[in-house]
Structure 1
Amino acid sequence: MPPSFSVTTAILSLILLILTCTFSRLLYNLFLHPLRRYPGPLLSRASVLPMQSQTLRGRLPFWIHHLHKTYGPVVRYAPNELSFISSDVVKDIYGHGRSSFEKQKVFYGKDTYGDPPGLFRADAEAHARQRKLVSHAFSEKALREQHVIFDKYAALLVQKLQSRAAKNEVVDMVKWYNFTTFDIMADLTFGEALGLLDGSEYTPWVASTFAHLKLNALTSAIRRWSWLESVFARFAPRSLREKRRLHMEQSSMRVERRLEKDLERPDIWNYVVRNQGKGKGEALEKTELHSNAALFMIAGTETTATELSGMTYHLLKNPARMARLTKEIRTAFSSLEDINLVNIAQLEYLNAVIEEGLRIYPPVSVGLPRSVPEGGAKVGGMWLPGGTVVSLAQYAAYHSERNFKDPDSFVPERWMLEGQKEYGSDDARAFVPFLHGPRNCLGRNLAYHEMRLVLASVLLNFDLELADDTVWTDQNVYLLWDKKPLMIKLTAVG
């Protein structure tokens, strides 16, 4: 037999085998898979490719929302993955006592700082240990002591914007909110300022953070193909890989530098160091330390700046509501010095605006997936086999008419007693922007105070006006929103 014929036959046989295996898998997913009875598009039930395509394009939350509008409260958007929007699944998927619902490893991946991983990727036991150590830094007591740090940067933000307003400059508020949140968190996390507000420009490290987040989102989409992940990791654009390396190096270097200093100041690591070693095994490993430092910088900056930007835009698109909020703030305070942790939390309309901002423009708009434990479990009254991937789709749940009346309208009053007559049917239990249960957001109180303080500081001192008619919320999502500039004209008030 000629060699050429043998090689040709082998290649054709290999192709036939691959096609047969692929076709068999597609048939299994459609007709034999344990989730075959759950609704969803034919291609999505057969293959992960549609979901991966939407993720890579930055359209996943909107696609999932469309699927729920088409198929109902439960959607099979990939062969082994279900998306929910009903409030009755929140406790099942994320709640206390359900620690066996671990984070889906394919979505979250490995910790880039090594093992053992930090809070974000730790298993239930390691997570509980680490959270116990760092939770002191996010307590009400700590927040009261940290207030001086927040005040410092709120005042600096106002000062810098006043100089722009005096020159009639149009400013990008996305940048200014980012400058503020990164300066605050750097001071809290590393005990040193980044100088973004002072310099009015992003540093290379902060700029790399946005690329790092986008790269993580893209990698999670292709991680289901292990061989493709290796190829992507090797051949991803060098600029993206370099920005990821810079982000990791900067976080590790800065936290080590902070710990070398014997400082008594109300930053995060002061509280952690105070409580380390008080019980057996109660200390952070080096990889946990570095990973958590990077996590705090991302979780406490980009998400908060995103929400502040979204609230500002929606308020400007709703002038009556902007006027009501501005009046409430300017009636309560005459200057920044009047604001403290207690009295700002009592502004009813400000709190309602923040809740509505989190609903209509949630910083994390995708569902955060969990895996059903081995042996199976009930989710929303339905028994699911072990290994099934489940999540509450944040954007879809908050924009569903099943949960909220006028879901695409910005209506802060729905969160107030006065709005209960019209919006009392809203299912607020489906609203969990900081998640629920043992893995809910550790910095929830910090984030609320930061949003209150920064937004109130801006509206106390300036009248705002959109500089163009662009639909600013028309954005892609790569885990977080890929925000466009939000150009605002500022007018200082006396």
Structure 2
Amino acid sequence: MDAIAAAPRTILLGTCCLLYFVVYPIIVYFHDAKGLRKFPNMHPLSGISSIPFMIVAHGGARSTYLSQLHKKHAVIRTGPNTLSYADTRAIRDIYGHSTKCTKDALYALAAGSHFHLADVINKPDHARKRKVLSSAYALKNLEGWEHKVADTTARLIAHFDKCCTAPMSQERRIPDPADLKVDYRAWTNFFTIDAIADIGLSEKFGLLDAGHDRVIGRRTNGTTYQCNFRDCLDQTGRKQSLLIWPYEWYPLINKIANVIPFYGRMGKFATDWDGIPLELAHRRLERYRAGEQLDDFFQALMEDKNGKPNNLEWGEIVAEISIMMNAGSATTAIAMANVMYQLLKNPKVMKILVNELDAALGDDDDDDEPSQTVVVPYDRVKHLPYLRACLDESLRLAPPNTQSLSRETPPGGTDIMGDYVAGGVTVGISALVAHRIESVFPQADQFIPERWLGEEGKNLQPYFLAFSTGARGCIGRNISYLEQTVLLASVLRRYEFALPHPQWEIQRLETMNWLLGEMPVKVWKRKRPRI
């Protein structure tokens, strides 16, 4: 009898689900109140459901997939309320300083109890936050913190010195597997985590000394635990990248997914990640209350340059530390590994760059000196054109953050590329897609640093989205360039590297960032020609 009584309820529930998840979206699609049916669909069902985009996301290469589709269409409808663009005219309309578009609901869904600078949607609130943080990220401050980057670089070099093998002969192009002693991807990530922790919090993590990324997290009840920094950060972004696209359903989908082992494991990492910035903020606050006046990002969060308290809420402080440790470590590490990978795959480019470094630095140091004395000063190399061109070309070819930086059109709608788009529509351009536009970047799939030199290079800057653009451009780009420049110049000055074999390819997985797999290399001391 109970089964019979339950049957009508089951039928009713099933009917409601059918109406809400299938019939209603179809009605909305054909009603087309926002006029989006005129745009070509990514998939025949994209105008009705976000499921096709979620399936593409699970393949780990959604922006690469979109890039291929955009060769035929400048605008593609990727979801019921989402448009993807691949035209340089749209960059100004969507991200320019005068745009009426705002960050969309994705940022609110991914935020914690408080917004940080990168995910805050409200424009006045963003202006307030940027004013507080701009002094901390100012270039003059960063160059004052160069000694922290130099110390981190010296510790990485000390490890590489221990891993050096005999030079590879000119005839041999494939190193002995036993000589592949360094995972360049992992160690550059240890570098960026150590560097940003010191710059931001005067925290000596010591990952380069320990050779692993085990750190301490804090629960809200005050207890602590150990976890792996990179796993927590990477898997948090991965889960979001797979499930977040139907914005209105994401809170429910996210909870349901936690009972599925594949997603539940990622959810556990996300919970562990939340405790890392909480523990770091707790430790740094204790030092601040003890009267330590430290030259770091946290000090700028607490007080302005005149010593006046900023009176930020505790949740806001933790949120800013979270994004600093996130963006300040992950994307720069990916960029560091990418540029070395591209240089090793393009030996002619490597030779030009090394010659530029040798000409600029002369015989000032000795390759047999200890690691502490061979860190290249930023001031000596920051203006080298070919070095900067290599960094920018690597960021163009493989931007660490490939996702479309989504924006929402204003309530009254707006014109994008001269075409009216109704209000409340998510629009965006993936950096990977923008950087593959052949009319702007000829031979877009090739690593050609020369494109960034001279006036031609200056003319390309408006179309360079590795750090986003406009008023919401990445405030930490100067930190990234400082770290990338000093590290790359220092290691190329002292070492030579080799991949496992000339045809070797690095593995990539697109989450919220474009993650890299292991990058084993052979390292040996370089014998420099005397100038």
**TM-score, with normalisation over the residues of structure 1?**
0.90
Tell me the residue number matched to 1:86: 87
Match of 1:247 among 266, 273, 286: 273
Change in CA separation of 1:314 and 1:174 when aligned onto 2, cut-off 3 Å? same
Alignment correspondent of 1:164: 163
Contact kept? 2:402, 2:432, Cα under 8 Å: yes
Distance 1:386 1:69 in 2: 27
CA 1:371–1:471: 2 relative to 1, 3 Å: farther
Q: TM-score, normalised by structure 2?
A: 0.84
Following the alignment from structure 1 to structure 2, what is the Cα–Cα distance between the partners of residues 330 and 51? 48
**CA shift for structure 1 position 101:** 2.1
Deviation at 1:12, TM superposition (A): 4.5
Q: Deviation of residue 444 (structure 1)?
A: 1.0
**Secondary structure of the structure 2 residue equivalent to 1:479:** coil
Change beyond 3 A, Cα 1:389–1:93: same
User: Map of 1:34-433 to 2, 5 A cutoff?
Assistant: 34-40=35-41, 41-70=43-72, 72-98=73-99, 100-106=100-106, 108-112=108-112, 114=113, 116-122=114-120, 123-166=122-165, 168-203=179-214, 204-207=227-230, 208-221=232-245, 223-225=247-249, 226-233=251-258, 237-261=263-287, 262-275=291-304, 282-333=310-361, 334-335=364-365, 339-417=376-454, 420=456, 428-433=461-466
In structure 2, do the counterparts of structure 1 residues 475 and 339 end up closer, same or farther at CA, with 3 Å as the change threshold? closer
Q: Counterpart of 2:490 in structure 1: which amino acid?
A: S
Q: 1:282 to 1:274 in 2, by over 3 A?
A: closer
Q: How many residues align?
A: 484
The CA deviation at 1:397 is 1.4
Tell me the distance in 2 between the aligned counterparts of 1:475 and 1:352.
23
**Structure 1 pair 339–427 and aligned structure 2 pair: CA distance change class (3 A):** closer
User: Residue 248 of structure 1 aligns to a residue in which SS?
Assistant: helix
What letter corresponds to residue 379 of structure 1 in structure 2? I
Q: How far did residue 278 of structure 1 move?
A: 7.3
Aligned mates of 2:273, 2:15 — CA distance in 1: 45
2:497 counterpart SS class:
strand
Relative distance call for 1:30 and 1:429 in structure 2 (3 A) is farther
Distance 1:3 1:349, change over 3 A: closer
Aligned to 1:480: 513
SS of 2:56's equivalent in the other structure is: helix
**Which residue is equivalent to 2:172?**
none
Please give the alpha-carbon distance, in whole angstroms, between the structure 2 residues aligned to 1:391 and 1:375.
Answer: 18
Q: Which has the higher helix share?
A: 1
The amino acid of 1:440's aligned partner reads: G
Q: In the superposition, relative to structure 1, how do residues 222 and 441 fare at CA in structure 2: closer, same or farther (>3 Å)?
A: same
Describe the shift of the 1:276–1:349 C-alpha distance in structure 2 as closer, same or farther (beyond 3 A).
closer
Q: CA RMSD in A?
A: 2.6
**Distance (whole Å) between structure 2 residues aligned to residue 466 and residue 162 of structure 1:** 18
How big is each residue's C-alpha offset from its partner over 1:298-346, in whole Å with a ceiling of 9 and x where there is no partner?
A: 1111101101111111111111001111111122224465733332111
2:51 and 2:255 mapped to 1: Cα distance? 18
- Structure 1 gaps, min length 5: none
**Structure-2 separation of matches of 1:402 and 1:50:** 29
Aligned-pair CA distance for 1:375: 1.2
Identity rate of aligned residues, in percent?
Answer: 25
CA distance in 2, matches of 1:338, 1:17: 66
Cα pair 2:375 2:486 within 8 Å, conserved: no
Tell me which moved more, 42-51 or 202-211.
202-211
SS in 2 for 1:368: coil
C-alpha contact (below 8 Å) 1:211/1:244 kept by paired residues: yes
Per the alignment, residue 525 of structure 2 pairs with 492
